[in-house]
Amino acid sequence: MLTVTIACVGRLKEAYWRDACAEYAKRLSPFCKLNIVEIEEERLPNDPSDAQITAALQAEGHRLLSRIPAGASMIALCIEGTEMPSTDLAKQFTKWTVEGVSHIAFVIGSSCGLSDLVKQSARLRLSMSPMTFPHQLARVMVLEQLYRAMQINNGTKYHK
């Protein structure tokens, strides 16, 4: 069975985000073993300099990478990543599975993004959209797209 790790900077503060994630985790249980890993977000001053942001991203990046299991194919969520339709993401999972990949790790950075080290370490850089969304929604969106990809690959009617 495929194992999926979602490594995130920060915790979900509102119950409705946690509830949405729990629902998708439940839906995903027949298709994969899901692990959600949260690391502490670096504290920044109200008006941080570029150097302070870079230092924070580097510290978060090292912590994120230390929590990615060896051998996992890593997907970095970043604005400059490739945009792809859900059907292409499903095809990518199938391709990796055929190649012998048994563990996929999605990495979600802080509201400031991800360090260059994390992006360079990723097998795929993925952009959810050019639009701006609440940072905490990213985890829900990743889980929904993961569930959608599993449904596409299993030929169900979920994806329209």
Domain boundaries, the chain: 2-43+51-153
Q: How far apart are CA 64 and CA 72, in angstroms?
A: 13
Q: How far apart are CA 87 and CA 92, in angstroms?
A: 9
Q: Which residues of the chain have pLDDT under 50?
A: none
Q: How far apart are CA 21 and CA 9, in angstroms?
A: 15
Topology of the domain covering 2-43+51-153: Alpha/beta knot (3.40.1280)
Long-range Cβ contacts of 44-51 (<8 Å, 24+ apart): 44/112
- The per-residue b/e assignment along 26-53, b for 16 or more CB within 10 angstroms, e otherwise, is ebbeebbebeeeebebbeeeeeeeeeee
What is residue 158's predicted lDDT score, i.e. its pLDDT?
84
Question: 80: how many CB neighbours lie within 10 A of its CB?
Answer: 9
Q: What's the Cα-to-Cα distance from 9 to each of 91, 99, 101, 112, rounded to whole Å?
A: 27, 29, 25, 10
What is residue 159's predicted lDDT score, i.e. its pLDDT?
72
Task: Give the position of tokens 């940072």.
Answer: 135
What is residue 135's predicted lDDT score, i.e. its pLDDT?
82
pTM recorded for the entire structure: 0.93
